[in-house]
Amino acid sequence: MSENQGTTMSEDLSIVIVDDMQFSRAVLKSALKRSGYDDVRLAASATETLKMLRERGADVVVADWVMPEMNGLELTDAIRAMDEEKSRYTSVILFTAKEGEDAMLEAFHRGVDDYLTKPVNDKELAARVFAAGRIAGMQNDLLQTTSALQALSNNLESINAVDVLTGVGNRRFLARQLDSLLLHVHSRGGGLCYAVVDIDDFQRVNRDYSYDAGDEVLRALARRLRRAVRPLDIVGRLEADTFGLILRYENPAHFRPGIFERIREAVRNRPFRVDGGEVEIDISMGAVCFNSGDELLTVPELMEQAEVNLQRARSRGAGQLEIG
């Protein structure tokens, strides 16, 4: 990235603007051009946008919320599904005349990175695009790092620490990480939560589609869980349709149980694509948290308590959470 003279910047970002109103597209493009953004493509519909992204990806998509055929939120869902297939990340900014916290929360809940209210200020637009581009860059760097770690993990199979199907750690790996982190929290402070994630009625996928489709879902779920948690959190596969999560936090007062609902929404908000169709799944979770000052638990005790909490959650039906 380099700076031009004056107030404009030349950012090495690929941007797509989508709006069914030609005038609005032209205004936004001109504003970004004045701010130094050169790679700006225009689309008149969500369908045209997706075609553009299949041909060449973008760092940032700036889209109108209200459009015929497919609105901005539906476009965001489609972009997230495409990103998942291509192992990349595209930042999405929606702009709309809607006002109020409800609209903003709905946008963020559906995976939108940023939100602008009409009329859009030129400088604010440029700044938001800059920030969204940084988000996309960091996420794509992380995906590249994850890919490199995946290659490294293949070399760890000899010590039986990696789940061959999904590429994440296995039960032994999770136990080792818990052992180290429990001692760290006990001696240095902070806290952690260990959660068991179980796919509700997973046998339905194998029965209604195929075992190969079931394996596709498991691999995709591992990727989706990895993206739903923070980079330093840990995802592992415990057994056939059950995963383990280790969430670490420096200050127990800052931990919010709502993270588990966000993880569940990340899993269930769009179907998994497999040969033969699309599969919708939901998950149940049992979690147990350990904070500095608590009586020290052993790894087997912690893992067993999480399993007990999972059974309690499942006794209430599908898609439930029990934290102990």
Q: Which of the four pLDDT bands, split at 50, 70 and 90, describes residue 315? A: very high
Asked if residue 92 belongs to a domain, the reply is: yes
The total number of structural domains that make up the chain: 2
pLDDT reported for residue 145: 81
Same domain, 198 and 250: yes
Contact 217, 274 (CB under 8 A): yes
Domain-located, residue 148: no
The verdict on whether omega for the bond into residue 119 sits within 30 degrees of 0, i.e. cis, is yes
Beta strand pairing status for 60-64 and 14-18?
Answer: parallel
Inform me whether the pLDDT recorded for 42 exceeds 70.
Answer: yes
Q: Indicate if 100 and 247 belong to the same structural domain.
A: no
Cβ–Cβ contacts within 10 Å for residue 295, how many? 6
User: Residue 247, Cβ neighbours under 10 Å: how many?
Assistant: 20
In-domain check, residue 313: yes
Tokens of 2: 């380099």
Q: pLDDT-derived band of residue 164, with 50, 70 and 90 as boundaries? A: confident
Residue 6 pLDDT > 60, yes or no?
Answer: no
Angle among Cα 240, 242, 245 to the nearest 5 degrees reads 140
Same domain, 169 and 313: yes
pLDDT of residue 22: 92
- Pair of tokens at residue 275: 């040969």
Cα dihedral sign, 117-118-124-128: positive
pLDDT above 70 (res 11): no
Q: Are residues 48 and 118 in the same domain?
A: yes
Domain boundary among 115, 141, 167: 141
Q: Is residue 194 part of a domain?
A: yes
Helical ranges in the chain per DSSP H? 22-34, 46-55, 72-86, 101-109, 122-154, 171-188, 203-208, 211-228, 258-268, 299-315
In three-state secondary structure terms, 54 is helix
Let me know whether 211 and 120 are in one domain.
no
The SS3 call for residue 288 is strand
Q: What domain range is 297 assigned to? A: 158-323
Residues 51 and 91 in one domain: yes
Q: How many CB atoms lie within 10 A of CB 102?
A: 9
Q: For the CA atoms of the chain, what is the radius of gyration?
A: 22
113 part of a folded domain = yes
Inter-axis angle of helices 22-34 and 122-154, nearest 10: 80
Q: Does 220 map to a domain?
A: yes
**Longest alpha-carbon distance in the chain:** 64
Q: Going edge to edge, which strands form the sheet with 283-291?
A: 234-239, 242-249, 191-199, 283-291, 321-323
Question: Same domain for 212 and 309?
Answer: yes
134 lies in the same domain as 170? no
Is the pLDDT confidence value at 146 over 80? no
Do 172 and 105 lie in one domain? The reply is no
Is the pLDDT assigned to residue 121 strictly greater than 70?
A: yes
Cα pseudo-dihedral 15, 20, 22, 27, rounded to 10: -50
Does residue 255 fall inside a structural domain? yes
Mean pLDDT of 10-33: 89
Highest mean pLDDT among 79-88, 172-181, 256-265: 172-181
Q: What is the CATH number of the domain that holds 230?
A: 3.30.70.270
Neighbouring residues of 4: CB distance < 8 A, sequence distance ≥ 6: 10, 36
Question: Domain with 47 in it: what CATH number?
Answer: 3.40.50.2300
pTM tops 0.75, yes or no: no
CB 243 within 8 A of CB 236: yes
184 and 116 in a common domain: no
Strand partners, 236: 169, 244
Give the containing element (helix H, strand E) for 60: strand 60-64
Give Cα 111 to chain centroid, integer Å. 8
Residues 200 and 93 in one domain: no
**pLDDT tens by residue, 57-89:** 999 999 998 898 889 999 999 999 899 888 889
Question: What residues are paired with 197 via a beta bridge?
Answer: 243, 285
> Residue 153 falls within a domain, yes or no?
no
Q: What are phi and psi of 113, to 5 degrees?
A: -85, -30
Dihedral angle computed from the Cα positions of residues 64, 70, 73 and 78, in that order, rounded to the nearest 10 degrees: -120
